[in-house]
Amino acid sequence: MKNVLIVGAGSAGKHVLKEITENGHKYDYNVIGFLDADSSKHGHKIDDYKILDHHDNINEYINKFDINEVIVATTEINHQGLNKIYDNLKVFDKNIEIKVLPTVEELLKGEPYTKQLREVQVEDLLGRESIQINNENINKYINNKRVLVTGAAGSIGSELCRQIVKHDPKKLIILDINENDLYFLKLFLERHYDIEINFEIANIREKSKLEFIFKEYKPDLVYHAAAHKHVPLMEKNIEEAVKNNVFGSKNLLDLADKYQVEKFVLISTDKAVNPTNVMGATKRLSEIILENINKDSKTKYMAVRFGNVLGSNGSVVPLFKSLIKEGKDLTVTHEDVTRYFMTIPEAAQLVLEAGYIGQGGEVFVLDMGEPIKIMDLAEKMIELSGLRVGKDIDIKITGLRPGEKLYEELLYDVNSCQKTENDKIYISQIRREDLDLKSGLREMDKCLDRFDRINLKKQLKKLVKTYKEAEYNN
């Protein structure tokens, strides 16, 4: 039988205790008592179970009662508080499990609290405080609209679709080149939502197919999430990055203007800020094209930048999980490399909020909190798996890859950013470049026809003045 401490002597903690005591045959738990931050509760009891102390003093009770598991039964402890509990428990030789309650949304499903308890995930320890969005305004904005999402089978695109359908659009058009993941998204959406959903397999490079889609569905809103995003691969395949991220995006931007879309939201990246790699430079160029077309269009165009997304396709978290599961060493490019992170739902919420707020021409950025060291992330993921760094699994330093930054920049100038009605969302004040954009894009197109990678990169640098190749690659 496991000796258990419950952190949180509020309603959630009481529900957990009730479930354990009333259905004891289901659980191998011996509840020792509660820990709670409210000192006025200390010494009191809940159904004969004592509220012992503040959870900051958890180590004293781990030793005293030989605790095997800690249940964090409160939504009031943020990721910093959870980190503190987690770090306190690391000093013990034995593996002490930590379980947490899910999100408020999951709790509202009405299942027993203990059924919804889950192990601590890396997102719990590294996540930021959740952003608050105005669902009422977003509902008015999306309700009864025809909405097109490109890159809909990807991590961000699919989450956008899952959130958009909650606001009762008139029609949702989901577009992607990946038919397998599009099919699974189709099954999920049709199973859970009773609205008209149209599925289009298409390549954003093929303007004729896109033209058919715009003519057929006449979207009011477009969320453009389709892109090539893998930095090292795009360094080696500049022509693919340009075809997709630049000319594919331009196809959509032009058609949105032609078919008088209300609003167009481009999903961008923090790597577009002073880019040091091809991927970031092509995303910055797509922003420049957007800014240019916005000046003379009835459509309101805007871009949303954010950093790395925890758990997204191609991100470091699923890669680390896979390696740990296989018992293989983790690799980190540099011991000091840091990145900004956010969760997939947060990213999608920001995009929706920006779409509502935007009046055309903005580049939105999110206050993403403090950057996270990838080395710390690797260590925490190993430890959360019940393994020991350096004993069970090593972390190897491989050196920065081509085009990779040691630190990501989020904004051009934090002090010059314009605030919005959401205190986590800012408008980046970007210096507009005086460019001969049409001529530059024509030259890039010629380079693509000749498969001329050298001059293609030169043209990219001409159009994106802030693009400087990384000097530190070791």
Tokens matching residue 194 = 């009773």
**Residue 153 · residue 181 · CB < 8 Å:** yes
- 108 φ, ψ (degrees, to nearest 5): -70, -10
- 119 φ, ψ (degrees, to nearest 5): -70, 155
Q: Centre a 10 Å sphere on the Cβ of residue 224 and count the other Cβ atoms it contains.
A: 26
| 211: Cα separation from own chain's centroid | 30
At which residue do the structure tokens 């939105």 appear? 364
Tokens matching residue 318 = 């699923």
Strand 197-201 relative to strand 2-7, pairing: unpaired
**Residue 358 · residue 300 · CB < 8 Å:** yes
**Cα separation, 46 vs 17, whole angstroms:** 9
Known active-site residue 207: no
Tokens matching residue 151 = 């890159």
Q: Where are the beta strands (DSSP E) in 13-75?
A: 29-35, 45-46, 49-53, 69-72
| C-alpha gyration radius of the chain | 25
**Residue 277 · residue 404 · CB < 8 Å:** yes
Tokens matching residue 386 = 């019940």
Q: Which of 243, 271, 424, 457 is catalytic?
A: 271
**Cα separation, 146 vs 171, whole angstroms:** 5
Residue 407 burial (10 A CB sphere; 0-12, 13-18, 19+): exposed
Q: Hey, which residues does 101 pair with through a beta bridge? A: none
At which residue do the structure tokens 């871009």 appear? 303
**Residue 393 · residue 330 · CB < 8 Å:** yes
**Cα separation, 288 vs 279, whole angstroms:** 14
**CA distances in angstroms from 241 to 119, 264, 285, 301, listed in the order given:** 39, 21, 11, 22
**CA distances in angstroms from 181 to 154, 188, 365, listed in the order given:** 8, 11, 28
- 395 φ, ψ (degrees, to nearest 5): -115, 120
Active site (catalytic) residues: 271
